[in-house]
Structure 1
Amino acid sequence: MSGGRISRQTPDRIDAEADVVVIGAGACGLVAALRAKATGAEVMVLERDGSPSGSTSMSSGFVPAPATRFQRAIDVADDTPQRFEADIMAKSKGRSAPSLARLATQTIGPALEWLADTHGLEWIVLHDFLYPGHSRHRMHAVPEKTGAALEARLLAAVEAAEIPIVTEAHVTTLFAEAEDRITAVEITRPDGATEMLGCTALVLACNGFGGNAALVRQHIPEIADGLYYGHQGNTGDALVWGETLGARIEHLSGYQGHGSLAHPHGILISWALMMEGGIQVNADGVRFSNEHGGYSEQAVNVLKQPGGIAWNIYDARLHAFAKGFPDYREAMAAGAVKKAGDVRELGSVTGLSEAALDTTLGEVARYQSGQAADPFGREFTGKPALAAPLFAVKVTGALFHTQGGLMIDGEARVLREDGSPFANLFAGGGAACGVSGPDVSGYLSGNGLLTAVGFGFVAGDAAGKQASASLT
C-alpha cells in the first residue's frame, strides 16, 4: 500500500466532507484539530493506525515554552520568546530557519496556555534539571511526564470536543485542482477499499520520513545504519506530496538522534544522567567524546564506536535521580540497569576491562576535582564525583525523527519554491521543516514537540479560519 500520490483528476465520487481535514493524530494533528474546531470549522482527523499513538507516544512528552504562567509558578520570570529563539539559533550555529524559530518560540507559550484554559491540559515545568542548550527551565510536561500521557490527554480533549478521528485510514492520494488547491483526499483501508473525503483546507500532520529506510539513506546516510526509534508510519508521504506539488523543502539532512537508547531493550535512558555527572565509555572501557555536547549528535558518536554501542556509567546519586523518569523505571524492570559495588564488579557485569574502567574512572575523578582538564572539553567540576556503588546501562545510538520538511509561512501555509503559499495546504510537526537546521547537532531538546504543538496550533487556527471564511 503506497502513498504520496497527487491526482489532477476530479474524484469520481465524494463519500464524505469536512471543512478541515487533518492527516495524522499525533500531537501536531490533535492540536491542529482542536484549534480548527475553535474557529467554528467542521474538522475530521485521519489516522493510518488502528489506534492513534505515533511519535508523540514514543517521545518523552516534554514541550519547551517560554514566558508561561507555569514557569512563573516556579519563579522563572525572566524567560522570553527572544531568549528561547537565541538558544535555538545558538544550538544550530545560526543555521535554523530564523522565520520558523521565531514562529515557534512566539507561538508555543500561548498554545500551551490555551490548551490548559480551553481543554484542561495540566502542565508542570521540570526544574530539577536544565536541559542541554536551554538557558532557562522551560520544559513543560503533563503530570505523568510521558509522551503516551500527553497523547492520551490530547485524545481525550479531541473526543470531548466531538471531533471525529477516523482510524485505519491511510491517505494515499491528494486531489489537486487549479492552482494546486486540494479538494479531496483518498483513503485506503487495510482491506484495499477506498473512500473519497472532500475538504476545504488540509493540514499535513503526518510527521517526517524516519520510517522510510530509502529516504533516510538518501538524505541522512550517517544514521542509515542506526536503529530507528520512531513510528514506522512516518514514511515521508508529506515530503513526497510536497515534492510533486513543487513545494519548497529544506534541511532534509537534519534530524534528532539520541545516544542513549538501552540495548537491546529499546528503552530511552534520560540524558539527564550525563548532564548531572555520568559518563559514557565504549567497549574498550574508555570515554570517546564530550557527553555534554548534546544527546542528538551523540547518536553518531556512539555508532562510531566498536559494535555501535556504549555504556552509561553513573552512581547511586544519579540512579536515585533517574528513578523519577518513567522510562528509567521501565529500564530497571527490564533488567537493563546493572549495579556494581566496585570497579571490579562493574567490569564483571558489563564485560568491560576492569583495568580500563579503573583508569577511566580515575581520570574522571581528577577532572571532577579540578586536578586536570578533560581533553574532550567537558567541564566536570560543577557536579559531585562519582562514588560506589556504580550503575551501568548498555546503550546504542538511534534516529528518533527527521527535522527537515516543507517550508511554511507565519500561518503554517506550505510554500512553493518561489515563496508563494499554496491556496489551502498547511503543515506542522515533522511534515514541516523544523527549527534544528541541517545537521544532527542543531537539535535542541524538545524541538520535535515544540514544532508539533506550536505549528499545529498555528496551522489549525489558519486552516479553520480560511475554511470558515470560504463558507460565508
Structure 2
Amino acid sequence: MLLFRLILGLAFLATTLCAAAPTGGHLADLHGGKGVQCTDCHGKGRKVKVDDSETVPNSNCVNCHGDLKAVGENSKGHINPHISHLGKINCTVCHAGHQASQVYCANCHGFDLKIPAGGPHAPQANPLPTAPALPKGKIQTERTEVLVVGGGAAGMTAAITAHDAGAKVILLEKQPLTGGNSMLAAGGMNAAETRVQAMKGVKDTKELMFQDTAKGGKGLGDPALVHILADSSAASLDWLTGIGADMSDLGRMGGASQDRCHRPKGGSAVGAHIAAVLKENAAKRGLDVRVNSQVVKILKDGKGRITGVLVKGRHRGLYRINAKVLVLATGGFSANAELVAHYQPRMKGMITSNQPGATGDGVALGEAVGGELVQMKEIQIHPSVASGSRILITEAVRGNGAILVNREGKRFFNEIGTRDAVSQAVLHQTGESAFMVFDEGVRRSLKQIDGYFHLDLVKEGESPEALAKAIEVPSDAFRATLDRYNQAVDAKQDGDFKRPDLPRALRTAKFYAIEVAPGIHYTMGGLKIDADTRVIAKDGKPIPGLYAAGEVTGGIHGANRLGGNSISETITFGRIAGARATAFAKSR
C-alpha cells in the first residue's frame, strides 16, 4: 500500500445543509429572528440547492451587507479581517449559515477575532483524499478538455494559458478560496535579463541565475529544469506584467549574486498582488473556477491514460469530471505535520508558515496512478518566521539591509545566505531564535514592513540603547554590533561574515526588531516531471494526459530553494503546463 494511504487521517466532511441545520446560535437563526427566509439566502425553488462555490448565498450576502470593501470601511478594531491580503473572497470562507462560523485568518495568525455566531477556533482539518471506487449505478458526470487541480499561482496560470490557447477549462480548488501558498509569498519573483534590471543598470544573466539556483540546491536540481526556470524567467515576468501585474521594484534574496527579485512598486508583498491579478484575469475570461471541491481520485483507462477525476464537493457530494488532460498544481505538504515528520523526523513539531491546504494532495493522487516521487526528504525551513506565530517575515527585509542579532547582542551569520544555512545558524543561538534588526531607512524602503507593525510583531526604540532594552539584549554589545556593521557598510566590505551586499547603514531612528525563528516553509520534493511538465511514471515514461506544475513537483530546487524562485517556478512551469496540456487535449 502506498505511503500516502497510510497517512490519510479523517475523511473529508461535507457541510451540513439547510434541512439538517442544528438549532441555536448560527447565522441562519440570527437571520431568521429578523424575518429572513431560507429563500432569501438560497434562492427560490422546490429544493434548496447550494453549489460548492456557494454562489447564491454569497451574492445575497453582498446584496444585503455590501462587498468586502464596504464592510471593511465600517469595521472597527485594530485588525480588520475584511481588508487583508486575501483580497476578494467569499463571505462563506468565514461565515457559515448552519454551523459555527470560523475566522479563516486564525489558521495562520495568532490574534483573536470575534465573529457573529462563531465558535472557538479549531485548526482546520485537511485530510488527504481518500480513494473511493466508482459507485455502482449512475453518477453525475461532466466533460472538459483541460482540468486543472489547484488554485494557486501555478494552477491559475495553467488555466489562463490553456483557456487563451483555445481549450475548455475547469479549475478545482479544495479550499474555500483560491490563492494557495502563492498568496502568502512576500519577497518577490526572480528573473534574469529583464527590462526592469536594464532600466536600473543591473547586469545579470540567465546563466548566472542558473548557477545561483544550482549552487543553492547543492547540485541536486535537475539541470534541464533549472535551465528552464532561469531561461524563461524574463518571459514569464513579461507575461505577468502583460496581464496587469506591477513588478517594477527590484531587490535581492538570499543566494542570489545579483539584484533579480522583482516585486510591486515600493516593495509590497508579491503574492497577494499576483493572486489578485490572476483571479481578475480568470474572472474576465469567465473561467469555471470551483472552490470547496476536492479531487479524491484520478481515473485512467486500461492503457494507463488519464480520463478524468472523482470530485467530492462540499455540497454536491461525489461526482465525476471526464477530461482529456489533467494538470496537478496542488502545492506541497508543509502543512501536513505527519508527512513532514515521516520524511524528516528532526522537524517533528516544528511550526509551519504554510496555509492549511498544503497537505500534499497532488503528490498522493499522482503517486496513486504510478507517478514517481523524487527528493521527498528535501524540506526547507525558513529562518524568519515571527516567533510564536506562523507569520513569515520576508527575506526581503534582510535583503534591504536588516541584520540578525542574537540574545548576546551580536551578529552571527551572513544575513542573506541560503535559507538552510541561515536557519541552522539561528537554531544554534541561545533560545533557538534571533532578532531581525532594522531602522527607519529599511522600513521606508519596503512597504510590506508596515504590515508587521499592524500585526504588533515589532519592538522599537528611539536609539540603539532603547531598542536593546526593549528586546532585552546587552546594550553595549548591541551598540558595538551596529557600529561595526555600519563601518562595514561604509567600507563596502563585511569582514566578519562576508555578506556580499550591504545596501544601507542602520543609523536612522527609530530602530526596530522582530524576534524570528525557523519554521517549515517549502517542500522541494514531489512528482517527477520532464521539460514539458509531463508526470513521469516509475518506469521512466510519461503518464499519458497527466501534467504538473509548482510545488507539487520535485527536482527543480534540489536540496534548498532560493528565495524568489517559487513565484518564478509557478509562472514559468504553469505556462508550460497550460500550453502543453492544451496541445495534448487537441491531439486526442
Pair in the same fold by TM > 0.5: yes
Which of residues 420, 428, 435 in structure 1 aligns to 2:541?
A: 420
Q: Is the 1:107–1:458 Cα contact (8 Å) retained in structure 2?
A: no
Question: The residue matched to 2:385 in structure 1 has which SS?
Answer: strand
Q: How does 1:330-345 map to 2 (within 5 A)?
A: 330-345=451-466
Against the structure 1 CA distance between its residues 426 and 394, is the aligned structure 2 distance closer, same or farther, given a 3 Å change threshold?
same
Matches within 5 A, 1:172-211: 172-190=296-314, 193-211=317-335
Partner of 1:443: 561
Q: Which residue of 2 aligns with 1:393?
A: 514
Q: Render the CA deviation track for 1:83-135: whole Å, top value 9, x for unaligned.
A: 32122112223221111101222333333333444xx22342323x3333334
Which amino acid letter does the alignment assign opposite residue 229 of structure 2? A
Q: Distance in 2 between matches of 1:5 and 1:465?
A: 31
TM-score by length of 1: 0.87
Within the candidate set 176, 183, 193, 1:50 is matched to 176
The Cα offsets for residues 448-468 of structure 1, whole Å up to 9 and x where unpaired, read as 112111111111111111111
What are the within-5 Å matches in structure 2 for residues 55-94 of structure 1? 55-60=181-186, 62-76=188-202, 79-94=204-219
Does the CA contact (< 8 Å) of 1:4 and 1:238 recur in 2?
Answer: no
Q: Find the partner of 2:573 among 451, 455, 466.
A: 455
The amino acid that maps onto 2:557 is S
The residue type equivalent to 1:133 in the other structure is G
Counterpart residue identity of residue 583, structure 2: K
Q: How does 1:151-190 map to 2 (within 5 A)?
A: 151-190=275-314
User: What SS does the aligned partner of 1:124 have?
Assistant: coil
Q: How far, CA to CA, are the matches of 1:10 and 1:414 in structure 2?
A: 27
Task: Indicate how the Cα distance of structure 1 residues 385 and 228 shifts in structure 2: closer, same or farther if over 3 A, else same.
Answer: closer
Does the Cα contact within 8 Å between 1:207 and 1:430 map onto a contact in 2?
yes
Equivalent in 472, 480, 488 of residue 351 of structure 1: 472
Q: What one-letter code is carried by the residue in structure 2 that aligns with 1:130?
A: R
Percent identical across equivalent pairs? 27
**8 Å CA contact retained: 1:25, 1:45:** yes
Deviations 1:410-445 (Å, cap 9, x if unpaired)?
11000112321110100000111152212xxx3212
**Runs of 5+ unmatched residues, structure 1:** none
C-alpha separation in 1, matches of 2:294 and 2:421: 33
Q: Which has the higher strand share?
A: 1
- Partner in structure 1 of residue 434 of structure 2: 310
CA positional deviation for 1:70? 4.4
Compared CA separation, residues 191 and 92, structure 1 to 2 (3 A): same
How do residues 258-407 of structure 1 correspond to structure 2 at under 5 angstroms? 258-264=382-388, 266-321=390-445, 324-326=446-448, 328-358=449-479, 360-361=481-482, 364=485, 374=495, 376-378=497-499, 383-384=504-505, 386=507, 389-407=510-528
Task: Quote how far apart the aligned CAs of 1:191 are.
Answer: 5.3
Give the distance between the partners of 1:164 and 1:67, measured in 2 at CA.
35
The 1:388–1:186 alpha-carbon spacing in structure 2 relative to 1, beyond 3 Å, is same
Q: Equivalents in 1 of 2:212, 2:355: separation in Å?
A: 28
Aligned residues of 1:208 and 1:236 also touching (Cα < 8 A): yes
Q: Secondary structure at the match of 2:252?
A: coil
Contact 2:158–2:575, Cα closer than 8 Å, also in 1: yes
> Are 2:128 and 1:3 aligned?
yes
From the superposition, tell whether residues 209 and 75 of structure 1 become closer, same or farther in structure 2 (CA, over 3 Å): same
Q: Which residue of 2 aligns with 1:126?
A: 249
Highest CA radius of gyration, 1 or 2?
Answer: 2
Q: Secondary structure at the match of 1:88?
A: helix
Unaligned runs of 5+ in 2: 1-11, 13-126
Amino acid at match of 1:400: H
- Computed over aligned residues only, the root mean square deviation of the Cα atoms, in angstroms, reads 2.9
8 A contact 1:257–1:297 mirrored in 2: no
1:100 corresponds to which of 215, 225, 241: 225
- Higher-RCO chain (CA-CA 8 Å, sequence separation at least 6): 1
- Aligned to 1:298, the other structure's residue is in SS state helix
Distance 1:423 1:381, change over 3 A: closer
CA distance in 2, matches of 1:3, 1:335: 34
3-state SS of paired residue (1:49): coil
Query: Residues 236 and 244 of structure 1: is their aligned pair in 2 closer, same or farther, counting only changes over 3 Å?
Result: same
What do residues 177-226 of structure 1 show as CA deviations (whole Å, max 9, x unaligned)? Answer: 22432212111133582121111100000001111111111223444433
Q: Is the 8 A contact 2:385 2:391 kept in 1?
A: yes
CA displacement 1:156-194 (0-9 Å, x = unmatched): 111111211011101111122224322121111335821
CA distance in 1, matches of 2:473, 2:572: 45
Task: Compute the displacement of 1:73 (Å).
Answer: 4.3
Answer whether contact 1:226 1:303 (CA < 8 A) is retained.
no
Cα distance, 1:388–1:113 mapped onto 2, change above 3 Å: closer
Distance 2:369 2:456 in 1: 49
